[in-house]
Structure 1
Amino acid sequence: MTQEARIDVELTWNHAEEKSSAEKVAEFAKHLPQGPWFGAPTGVARADDREPTYTLPLRSARPYRREVAVGEAAVYLADGHDELERPFIFADGFNYGPSDLPGLFAHFNAPYPGSQVGFLDQLLTAGIDVVLVGFEQRHTYIQANAGVVISAIQEVIARRHGDVELIVGGVSMGGIITRYALAEMEEKKQDHQTGTYLSWDSPHNGAWIPLVLQQLAYFFEALPVPPGEVKKAELIRSPAAQQLLYAWVPDAKYSGPVATASELRTQFLAELEDLGQFPRRPRKLGVANGTGNGIGRDLPAGQEVFKVQVPLVHYVQANFQPDGGEYQPIGEMRAAGQVRRGFTSHVPGLDGVPGGILDTFGGIAEALGATISTEYERSCFVPSVSAVALDYDPVEWNVDPYEKVEGADEKSALDEFKCDSENTVHSQVTKPLVDWIVERIVR
């Protein structure tokens, strides 16, 4: 059995430094970028983007933990269609706050290298109607937003002309939400009439945000912030993050297990198990923004990534996640007299493994005024082994994250999957992925 992955924090207090630095720290906090850290990339709507044919308000028909989630669908009818005929329902992913459906459309329809035509326009031209599903709270429980997707599926079925089966899926966490929704409908004997399920860089076995950066988000949000601003760790502490992340910490002082730190993830995994993990009826497809050849990025496990000191304000050192080991240092932070040093044991070094990447270290280094090498700015967010739903324990992570997954369809819960030709930004639209998807759903 794999040894328990955990974090340990050494906390000390320098009262003399606390007194001398308090005012300078408060002044520094005024200039620190506000808002939650670690959001996934989003698109920016363009003036010449297609407008949706119409929009639909969505409301879950059942509560989850007393929460009734709501959202909206933007319906783009295919060229030559006056009503829904071949619907493709595609759900938004991991981020904070409400979905930006025009931005989601812009992201997935921007021309990309090797094509002058966006992905969604290719579908619309081929006669596939696009239904983008957004959520009022992207950061809430996956199960709550699955209720919104169920409502979208039922609304689309009611409006569809003919009986062509649906294509249902999503990007990032949207692929997990739709996976859960379809499995729940099957469990309740509700006919989802879906022939194909598609996930786009979805963390089927968990996502990764470096533990030292999670600590920093909590640490720096303790500094004074303007009234009404969303705190830096709000996305990290959200239900969605707790359910999605393989390793998670609840605050900057926490010592203990990281793979089971949140009961929300433990419960979510148990519920997926009860639902059979995946829906059984649809053909299950998936694409990964990471490579499938086992080649990651050269981010040396345990090595210092950046270090910055502003006298009497703060000192921060952040390392790449060490690969296993006992009581390995991951970083240090000091401000207003607080000194915290973090150590991990039996946590895999996932920063440089094959997978879809995010601007994690770079974004925080910039916020703190630290110098960082360009190649160190981004780290893995969704390992390829997770995006292709390889068969391994999502808590113990008893898998080689550098495993060559190309041609390993028999080890995946998906029927077919496609990895990118290089490790690209999480949710990035690339020619290899689009060509593979279009070949399978445009017939």
Structure 2
Amino acid sequence: MATQGAARIDVELALRQETDPVPAGRADQIAAVLPKGVLFATPAPPPGGRTRVPQAEWALTSAWPYQGRTATGTAVIHYGAGHERLVRPMIIADGFNYGPSDLPGLWHHLNAPYPPHQQRLLDQLLAQGIDVVLLGFGARHTHIQANAGVAATCIRRAISERDGNAPLIAGGVGMGGLIARYALAEMENRGEDHQTATYLSYDAPHNGAWIPLILQQLAHFAASLSPSEPCQTALIASPAAQQLLWAWVESGRYSGPVATASPVRTEFLEDLRRVGWFPVRPRKLGVANGAADGTGRNMPADQPVFEWSALGGLVGATVRTQPDRGTNRHVGGMRAVPMWASKSYTSDVAPFDGVPGGTLPLYGMLADRLGAPIATKYRSACFVPTVSAVALQYDPVDWTVDLYTDITSLSPEHSQLDDFHCDSHNSEHGQVTATLAEWILGQLGK
């Protein structure tokens, strides 16, 4: 088992298959009750409300190959009020998910009416004379550096088609903010004029994001016993997930460090440092879906979340919220008799689930797929901690930071952004709220 001092996970295995042969048909029975398809991929929002047809569409190929492959993408352009062509471009890159971008879905997400007056962010940007360029990717789950090349091509295209010389605004939602950040920094590193005056990230995980370790292991458990196409782990095992997640596990049986588990994340952080960490020339703005005052969610650490059982108890799982550090703290277990029986323990891992930040229904999504009952307060956990979204100055591997930091009490130099704004409460990751939308409109209107 682990010793105190390094964030890690340890798996205790109790497999019986060496002495007990698998009964005929058992594997098929187990496969039938396990979830299929990509786990943790978030569905596109329903297409309710008005649909706005874009005035132009660009097919894009990455400005640079990455590891011998060239990424592709698509941008759709909505002209601002009074414009018949591109005048004041604002590029908004899509975020973390599996497969190709759904740009109509991204439009509906960002332009959903928000209370109290049911206003719409993109409509207001267009009314201000800002041309909205929604940037999507052929594979959202591939390397950030690869999709950053697509973003660079989009920036070049916007410059070439722009009428006049108004500077660009570039950024993105969630991981899209990291993609735009890397693209701008790499262009500067190459001596290229990106003509971008403002960079804007929307709940971007600048220092990393969180998916509970026990849920990652459950996805591996399902994939090993009930493989499907696409695989259940296609998202959490993807290059993008490895680069994004502060803590990552490679399999259901993995024991070892979690903050340095993936060399893909280590390489990404090294690449970011090589290109300057952040772009220098633009004014760097960011918003966080998490609260600023250090108030977390009502989601206590080290508590049972759900119990799942099937086939008369032969198959099942126990899931608990992440404990508050400690050594060898139980986070759950899985069984498929006689093929698999395991219990998982973490050491020196912070209780990320309930900290201030943008949330996702991570526990709820998996419980629903399994048909397991779950209390409402345990459905959603923190995905992007506020301290990450506002890019506080701390090591992105060691996370030597108080996750409940009262950011309102900090001076501006504690952030690597020039200015930022947090939500009034812990809202869902990427959700447009009045607090964030009004701040963005005010900043871009200056």
C-alpha deviation, 1:46, in angstroms: 4.2
Deviations 1:369-408 (A, max 9, x none): 2211111011000000000000111101111100011252
Which residue identity is paired with 1:323? D
Alignment check: 8 A CA contact 1:45 1:105 kept: no
Shift of residue 120, structure 1, vs aligned partner: 0.4
User: Could you tell me which residue of structure 2 aligns to residue 320 of structure 1?
Assistant: 321
Residue in 2 that maps onto 1:426: 429
Distance 1:442 1:39 in 2: 35
* TM-superposition CA deviations, 1:312-351 (whole Å, max 9, x none): 5412101111111111111110014210111111111100
Contact persistence 1:93–1:174 (CA under 8 A): yes
Contact 1:25–1:314 (CA under 8 A) maintained in structure 2: no
Q: Percent identity?
A: 52
Structure-1 residue corresponding to 2:251: 251
Alignment-derived partner of residue 296 in structure 1: 296
Q: Which residue of 2 aligns with 1:404?
A: 406
Structure 2 counterparts to residues 184-203 of structure 1, below 5 A: 184-203=186-205
Secondary structure of the 1:386 match is: helix
Report the residue type matching 2:331 in the other structure.
Answer: I
Q: What TM-score comes out, normalization by structure 1 length?
A: 0.96
Number of the residue aligned with 1:283: 283
Measure how far apart 1:421 and its partner are: 0.8
Name 1:53's counterpart in structure 2: 55
**Secondary structure, aligned partner of 2:113:** coil
More divergent stretch after superposition (141-150 vs 405-414): 405-414
| Alignment match, 2:208 | 206
CA contact (8 A) 1:406 1:419 kept: no
For structure 1, the 5+ residue unaligned runs are none
Q: Is the 8 A contact 2:30 2:315 kept in 1?
A: no
Quick one: which amino acid aligns to residue 405 of structure 1?
I
Q: 1:9, CA displacement in angstroms? A: 0.7
User: C-alpha displacement at 1:442, in angstroms?
Assistant: 2.2
Is the Cα contact below 8 Å between 1:133 and 1:149 reproduced in 2? yes
Per the normalisation by structure 2, the TM-score is 0.95
Aligned to 1:7: 9
Deviations 1:121-178 (A, max 9, x none): 1011111000000000000000000000000000000000111110000000000000
1:274 aligns with 2:277: no
Aligned-partner residue type, residue 358 of structure 2: G
- What is the SS of the residue equivalent to 1:13? coil
| Contact 1:392–1:399 under 8 Å retained in 2 | yes
Correspondence 1:150-161 to 2 at 5 A: 150-161=152-163
Q: Conserved in 1, the CA contact under 8 Å of 2:362 and 2:379?
A: yes
Q: Deviations over 1:10-63 (max 9, x none)?
A: 11212377634x635523533544221122463333473111101000001211
- The aligned length equals 439
Query: 1:241: which partner in 2?
Result: 241
Distance of 2:127 and 2:118 partners within structure 1: 14
Instruction: Provide the rounded CA distance (Å) in 2 between the counterparts of 1:7 and 1:121.
Output: 46
Cross-structure match for 2:22: 19
Specify every segment of 5 or more residues in structure 2 that has no aligned partner in the other structure, as ranges.
Answer: none
Q: Out of 417, 420, 428, which is 2:420 matched to?
A: 417
**Corresponding residue for residue 177 of structure 1:** 179
Amino acid at match of 1:433: L
Instruction: Output the aligned Cα RMSD.
Output: 1.6
Corresponding residue of 2:388: 386
Q: Letter of the 2:237 partner, please give it.
A: R
Is residue 437 of structure 2 the alignment partner of residue 440 of structure 1? no
